[in-house]
Amino acid sequence: MRPNWDQYFMEMAEVAKTRSTCLRRKVGAVIVKNKRILSTGYNGAPTGTAHCLDVGCRREELNIPSGQRHELCRGLHAEQNAIIQAAYHGVSIAGATLYATLQPCVLCAKMAINAGIRRIVFKGSYPDKLSMEILKEAGIELEKFDNI
């Protein structure tokens, strides 16, 4: 059976997440406009720095709960990496859809809003109520993926 577009692009996000180097949770993201992939991302350390797979997870060592103290993580989120990759290559993502294998956190939500993302399709919940509030307030179309 042929997948619809949301299924197709979410599967691409699932593939992107296989590159993740996070020890706690693997996440993938794909940014799409007019049925064309503009950028992809997965969570992991910045280019040229050690990955958590190699040096361990500071947040895990400090027993920090999910969704808290992002500043102590050496990695970037998948959504952040996808937005940064688009900017790095000069690709406008204004008006695009972001597919993510997890609900965005508030930091990713704010970046998506200011990058011009208009729709977010996501799997899985994340303990960050503010992210959903701010996305709704900004008029971002939100869709929880459930094999649509």
The kind and range of the H/E element at 66 are: none
CB 74 within 8 A of CB 99: no
User: Hey, which residues are catalytic here?
Assistant: 79
**Neighbouring C-alpha atoms within 13 Å toward the C-beta of 49:** 11
Q: Are strands 97-100 and 119-122 parallel, antiparallel or unpaired?
A: parallel
Burial of 2 (0-12, 13-18, 19+ CB in 10 A): exposed
Q: Retrieve residue 19's tokens.
A: 């590159």
